[in-house]
Amino acid sequence: MNRGNTSQLTAGLARVLSPRGSFRMAKVSGALPFALRAALTMALPTLPLVLLGHPNLAVLPALGAFTITFERSLPPRRRSRLWVLALVAAAMTAAVGLGSLLAVQVGPFGPWNQGLAAVVGMAAVAGLAKFGCDYAGLRGLGAVLILVAFAITAEGTPALTDVLPHTALTALGAAIAWLVCLPNSLQPQRLKRLALADALECFARALEAAGPIETSKARHQAVVAALRAYHALGDPDGSGGIVGLTRRTPGRPATTGYSADYVWALLTTDTWRDAEGDAVARHLREQARMLADRRWHTLLPLPEELLEPHTADSAPGRPATAPPQPPVPLT
């Protein structure tokens, strides 16, 4: 290995291991309503147990209530969301039940072979949870939460008669989480607007990024968010793949729609190379704020640069080159 490769490897390791930006809070559209629903879901099944004098049992419905944390990563299609969330609730409940059974069989002071069985059980649950979350397209700490639910109950000291009540309490918390997510899952337009708002916010950050590393990272995040919004807007739910917002102007109101093709055009053009990138970023953030707001009665005008397709070789004296067409899903 020559000196150039060594320096590149050292620089790459320093960049990967650097704690810079590790504790930076990412801005997510519509985060406050999701956080409030998560707090409500956690309080509903646990507070009665605490008030009745059984705080030691409150952790069980709380483990089931962790199902609410999967809400932001669920697929946009209405029926798929409900089924995937139900499967997550069943997985959390099964993890607690299996962990309680393992604790009954092994115990905290069993021989070494029983401890080995506990390790093998946790490894199996971790692998299955990771495979299931990846297969369902669930992001975040999904597999970790399922493993935590299994590990917490596996380290307890329940009796065999406690396994069924513990599992039932977990199922209660998971069912409450499913019911809390139900109204939002029945409003696909709301979910599509949040996906589009996240994409516009990421594009704004890409426009304002400074330095090659920050710009590359911001563009990558923008591409991921745009593809997620593209698939969300392209999902058929009776709206024709359009997220509509009403603009209240004097006279009759006009309706403007964001479609999957608009997001694809925004992704495939190089708007971030324009001289007025800061102005475009400001408009994008205003649009993202309006899309994330439930009181979406006003739509700000979109920048003209984002409505007309153009590329880097476009010049004022010749027509712009149309961006590539989005991929057509195979039937």
Q: Smallest Cα–Cα separation from 178: which of 58, 90, 76, 292?
A: 90
Between CA 146 and CA 49 the distance in angstroms is 23
Q: Is 288 helix (H, G, I), strand (E, B) or coil?
A: helix
The more confidently predicted of residues 7 and 160 is 160
Average pLDDT taken over every residue of the chain: 72
What is the tens place of the pLDDT at every residue in 115-158?
Answer: 787 888 889 998 999 888 888 777 767 888 999 999 898 888 78
Side chain identity at residue 106, one-letter code: V
Structure-token pair, residue 276: 């007025």
What is the tens place of the pLDDT at every residue in 65-114?
Answer: 999 888 777 766 655 677 888 999 999 999 999 999 988 887 655 666 66
CB 78 within 8 A of CB 232: no
What is the tens place of the pLDDT at every residue in 176-187?
Answer: 999 988 877 676
What is the tens place of the pLDDT at every residue in 45-74?
Answer: 999 999 999 998 999 999 999 998 887 777
For the whole prediction, is pTM greater than 0.85?
no
